[in-house]
Structure 1
Amino acid sequence: MQIKQQKSFFGQPRGLATLFFTELWERFSFYGMRAILLYYIIAKVSTGGLGMSHSMGLAIVSIYSSMVYLSSILGGFLSDRILGAWRTVFTGGVLIMFGHITLALPFGRIALFISLALIVMGTGMLKPNVSEMVGSLYSLNDTRRDAGFSIFVFGINFGAFIAPLLVGQAVKTFNYHTGFLLAAIGMLIGLIVFRVDSRNNLSKATYYPSDPLQPEDIKPLIFKLSYGLIAAVLVIILMYLYDALNLKVIILLLSVVAVMVPVIYFVTMLTSRKTTREERSRVRAYIPLFLAAMLFWSIEEQGAAILALFARDQVRLPVGFNAAWLQSLNPMFIMLYTPIFALLWVKLGKRQPKTPTKFGIGLVFAGISFLTMAIPGFFFGINNLVSPLWLILSWALVEVAELLISPVGLSATTKLAPRAFRSQMMSMWFLSDAAASAINAQLVQFYTVNTEVRYFTIAGGVTIIAGLLLLTQIKKITAAMIGVD
């Protein structure tokens, strides 16, 4: 449903401004909090932190990222079947805000886990549905659609860019809790913008579920939820009886769940009678792309974990410089590269590389970004501080990979989706990040200063090899895509 507006936003529907600023501030809160989260977890209690080990801090940050993307499935369900997009987004924003407020209070580890649970649920409700609401501003044939999404994505990255700078400065000037409070204020601003500015500028359809639960759907849903709750309780009881109810085992179980969910999705689509022979072939073609995306996200998501730790402990930062500020490099390079890649694809037109080719090249760039991080330790030793230029170069390389994989992967997901699983297939793209971060939650525990060179070399080398192998399978994958470029 397209809305007729008298006012516009850079030639776009006025509602785009509402969603642009809502998501800008939500991303400000998310990336601001994430920029200091690891440092808060591992900092000594005497300096205002939680005093946890480096390996546990890295694992917590990674599994948190995994659960954020996994929860998008729940957010989509609540929007489509129960609340509608508007209420789901607003409720999600409220949960995120209270999550950050909880971290702003000096209640230690209990506050940390309550906060992460609230932010995971809130982000899963807000993020995928805001993007869906942007699409609802346009008719399918509206030529402004792609430009509108480009403006929206710029808002995301601008919020992510300024957040580490401001939140990092708040921590430096005051303390960690002030930084988390600033993130909460950012989300509050986003909620105010969304609440005040949306009524006359967004489609009325966003207030209602697109596929509301029918009376006959409620009983089966209650049974499924009950079975899930009983299973969770039984697992907790067994863990307690075997003296395994600890944080490390809980992270392992969550990692297994995050990896198994996409496996179940693939098996369901490939074995369903609703999937035609051609669609089944396309799903099989999507599997190597999904695995490639997992490898890429595994590298990219370590920017807030391994690279953040490296920046704090092993980089020769200028006097007065805050390590958290380096988290702004990721969105900065995205903003710099996006117009270049957009012009490149337009100029190449039909001559541009096929989707699997872009993925393969992207993996090579991602792998090189990690090999780059192994160089200073290999040549200059692990006990010497290194130039921040190594980190800048690493981020510059991995963001080339992101623009070769992330937007291309989203497009491929929509094209390769079976008709009967179109909505579920969109969740698959988020699940590639969820599964990658879940695997990271286990891998990062092996990272130490002593294993640094080996860690970067193995992770980068495996990713490069996977990219080269993917490039050898271009014809086979393209043929299986049947009519999809």
Structure 2
Amino acid sequence: MSATSAVSTPQRDFFGHPRGLSTLFFTELWERFSYYGMKAILAYYLYRSTAEGALGLDKSFALSLVAIYGASVYMSGVAGGWLADRVLGGQRAVFHGGVLIMLGHVALALPIGVAGVYTGLVLIVLGTGLLKPNISTVVGGLYDRQDPRRDSGFTIFYMGINLGGFLAPLVCGFLGEEYDWHLGFGAAAVGMALGLVVYRAGVRGLGDSAAAPPRPLPAGERGRVLGRIAAVVVGAVAAVALLVVLGVLGAEGVINLISLLSVLLPVGYFAVMVRSPRTTPVERSRVIAYIPLFVAAAMFWLLFEQSATVIAAFADTRVDTTVLGLSLKPSFVQSINPVMIIVVAPLFALLWSRLAGRQPVTPRKFGYSLLLVGLSFLLLMVAGQGDPAVRVSFLWLIAMYLVMTCGELMLSPVGLSVTTKLAPRAFASQTMGLWFLATAAGQGVGAIVVRYYSDENAEAYFGVLGGVAIALGVALVLGARSIHRLMRGVD
């Protein structure tokens, strides 16, 4: 019997699942609470006036900084996955990542201005890169591959993500906007601290799941390899820091640099996989088929991830957040998507079950997702018409998030599945990292795009982006048959 099965089979302490699932459920819930809670108020803290206790930065720069932070989080996951696979193991990576995340929120909670923001964001990026890609690996290790509870276990785990994402803006947003921004960031730090307490208290229940690195560096090479990596990282950071100090590269230049990197990284991945002799002709065809899917995903996330940037700014200044006589905080808007997922996801699961073999092929699903996210932006375009001083109904955001969430459910879970199917055998793990780089690329490009938003040009901004997404969606639907042929038997 394997170590993994020894962990999973006899334990039925959490809704009939291994005891370790409860530990990971609540750890992820609190980690997502900290992530989305901080993100719900970050843009407001950056661009609102100093009279409101905020930093009073230029709004375009503030929105760009939030976007590039999101891109950096997803790029760091590639390095975090490698460290877990070769050095730390999943369990240690999750804990160390959580500590860095907590320290990042603590830095944001301190009233030290822009220095606290930059320090906090760097720590959270590094910590999330360690925790986020590896906690799912630990969940999977609780079960045998044939364990019938495996899929439902992941469903329970992802409910923790949405629960944390729902509660976070309500708590951190209320504290930050009503009382003090640093109190909101402090609540995010407390959330991650609670996650660490839960994790340490229940770590024994995880057994051997991802406890050791699956492909550890040989003892004789470990110091040399890690030393070289550290030297490259330190050298790159020092070079950028020197350019900043000399005035050659400002904060906006650093954002542009990271945006460029978010695009170049996946381009490099594709080039290596297509040209590698370890990629068979059939696999090469599948990789080529994956390219338009990747571009579609990047476009989708470019729009979707503006929830914490442009859509947050729109809710702040253009939307009447009074609902049923209650005056809601603009940050509460970011709780809508998790609620929509909880409500709509079972309907999509039922739809796919009913359609069975009549389901649209994956390229068409991706095309439909772009049509939906584009439509959601066209709804904001209509809402943004007229006098910028006149606030529009909160129902516009409800409708927008409903349409956008349907698009998310057409792409996000489908994308994970098709990535595993199209990945060349020699690049299986790296291709999963490539899927997350689609989100990084979308937000990296978004960091440039959001600079063009203002209250006065909201109609044009949402209309152009929505139109581009719809045009790309139509092209993908029309080309779905050709792309599907390149997938060589993968649906």
Scaled by the length of structure 2, what TM-score is found?
A: 0.95
- For 2:340, give the aligned amino acid: F
Deviation at 1:234, TM superposition (A): 3.9
Q: 1:16 aligns with which of 12, 21, 41?
A: 21
1:417 maps to what in 2?
423
1:376 maps to what in 2?
383
Q: 1:340 aligns with which of 315, 338, 347?
A: 347
Counterparts of residues 8-407 of structure 1 (less than 5 Å): 8-199=13-204, 201-214=205-218, 215-216=220-221, 218-238=223-243, 243-318=247-322, 320-378=327-385, 380-407=386-413
Deviation at 1:205, TM superposition (A): 4.3
Q: Structure 1 residues 141 and 52 mapped into 2: Cα distance closer, same or farther (>3 Å)?
A: same
Whether the aligned pair in 2 keeps the contact of 1:282 and 1:481 (CA below 8 Å) is yes
Structure 2: runs of 5+ lacking an equivalent: none
- For 1:376, give the aligned amino acid: A
Structure 1: runs of 5+ lacking an equivalent: none
Whether the aligned pair in 2 keeps the contact of 1:136 and 1:203 (CA below 8 Å) is no
Q: Take 1:239 and 1:286, find their aligned partners in 2: how far apart are those partners?
A: 38
Q: Take 1:235 and 1:126, find their aligned partners in 2: how far apart are those partners?
A: 26
Q: For structure 1, which segment, 159-168 or 401-410, has the greater mean C-alpha deviation from structure 2 after superposition?
A: 159-168
Secondary structure of the corresponding residue to residue 10 of structure 2 = coil
> For each residue in 1:429-456, what CA deviation from the matched residue of structure 2 results, as whole angstroms up to 9, or x when unmatched?
1100001101010000011112211110
Whether the aligned pair in 1 keeps the contact of 2:60 and 2:450 (CA below 8 Å) is yes
Whether the aligned pair in 2 keeps the contact of 1:27 and 1:160 (CA below 8 Å) is yes
Q: Take 2:241 and 2:19, find their aligned partners in 1: how far apart are those partners?
A: 49
Whether the aligned pair in 2 keeps the contact of 1:84 and 1:206 (CA below 8 Å) is yes
Q: 1:439 aligns with which of 428, 436, 445?
A: 445
Q: Structure 1 residues 47 and 391 mapped into 2: Cα distance closer, same or farther (>3 Å)?
A: same
> For each residue in 1:7-54, what CA deviation from the matched residue of structure 2 results, as whole angstroms up to 9, or x when unmatched?
332222221111111101100110011001111111212221111010
Question: Root-mean-square deviation (CA), in Å?
Answer: 1.4
- For 2:327, give the aligned amino acid: G
Whether the aligned pair in 2 keeps the contact of 1:168 and 1:324 (CA below 8 Å) is yes
Whether the aligned pair in 2 keeps the contact of 1:298 and 1:433 (CA below 8 Å) is yes
> For each residue in 1:284-317, what CA deviation from the matched residue of structure 2 results, as whole angstroms up to 9, or x when unmatched?
0111000000010011000110010000101112
Scaled by the length of structure 1, what TM-score is found?
A: 0.97
Whether the aligned pair in 1 keeps the contact of 2:18 and 2:142 (CA below 8 Å) is yes
Q: Take 1:477 and 1:218, find their aligned partners in 2: how far apart are those partners?
A: 45
Query: How many pairs were matched up?
Result: 482
Q: Take 1:254 and 1:90, find their aligned partners in 2: how far apart are those partners?
A: 27
2:476 maps to what in 1?
470
Q: Take 2:236 and 2:112, find their aligned partners in 1: how far apart are those partners?
A: 31
Deviation at 1:166, TM superposition (A): 1.2
Q: Take 1:221 and 1:279, find their aligned partners in 2: how far apart are those partners?
A: 32
Whether the aligned pair in 2 keeps the contact of 1:15 and 1:198 (CA below 8 Å) is yes
1:451 maps to what in 2?
457
Deviation at 1:357, TM superposition (A): 0.9
Q: Take 2:364 and 2:209, find their aligned partners in 1: how far apart are those partners?
A: 39
Q: Take 1:50 and 1:448, find their aligned partners in 2: how far apart are those partners?
A: 19
Q: Take 1:163 and 1:6, find their aligned partners in 2: how far apart are those partners?
A: 31
Q: Structure 1 residues 32 and 237 mapped into 2: Cα distance closer, same or farther (>3 Å)?
A: closer
> For each residue in 1:137-189, what CA deviation from the matched residue of structure 2 results, as whole angstroms up to 9, or x when unmatched?
11111121111111111110011001111112212442111111111111111
Deviation at 1:216, TM superposition (A): 3.1
- For 1:477, give the aligned amino acid: I
Mapped pair 1:426 → 2:435:
no
Q: Structure 1 residues 238 and 172 mapped into 2: Cα distance closer, same or farther (>3 Å)?
A: closer
- For 1:387, give the aligned amino acid: S
Q: Take 2:448 and 2:28, find their aligned partners in 1: how far apart are those partners?
A: 31
Whether the aligned pair in 2 keeps the contact of 1:167 and 1:180 (CA below 8 Å) is yes
Whether the aligned pair in 1 keeps the contact of 2:142 and 2:209 (CA below 8 Å) is no
- For 2:328, give the aligned amino acid: F
Secondary structure of the corresponding residue to residue 156 of structure 1 = helix
Q: Structure 1 residues 176 and 224 mapped into 2: Cα distance closer, same or farther (>3 Å)?
A: closer
- For 1:356, give the aligned amino acid: P
Whether the aligned pair in 1 keeps the contact of 2:11 and 2:17 (CA below 8 Å) is no
Q: Take 2:73 and 2:384, find their aligned partners in 1: how far apart are those partners?
A: 33
Deviation at 1:223, TM superposition (A): 3.2
Whether the aligned pair in 2 keeps the contact of 1:5 and 1:14 (CA below 8 Å) is no
Deviation at 1:238, TM superposition (A): 5.0
Percent pairwise identity: 47
Q: Take 1:345 and 1:484, find their aligned partners in 2: how far apart are those partners?
A: 17
- For 1:303, give the aligned amino acid: S
> For each residue in 1:208-267, what CA deviation from the matched residue of structure 2 results, as whole angstroms up to 9, or x when unmatched?
1111111235435533543454355445545655x3221110100111111111111111
Q: Take 1:144 and 1:315, find their aligned partners in 2: how far apart are those partners?
A: 44
Q: Take 1:232 and 1:171, find their aligned partners in 2: how far apart are those partners?
A: 32
Q: Take 2:120 and 2:418, find their aligned partners in 1: how far apart are those partners?
A: 35
> For each residue in 1:441-472, what CA deviation from the matched residue of structure 2 results, as whole angstroms up to 9, or x when unmatched?
00000111122111101100000000000001
Whether the aligned pair in 2 keeps the contact of 1:104 and 1:179 (CA below 8 Å) is yes
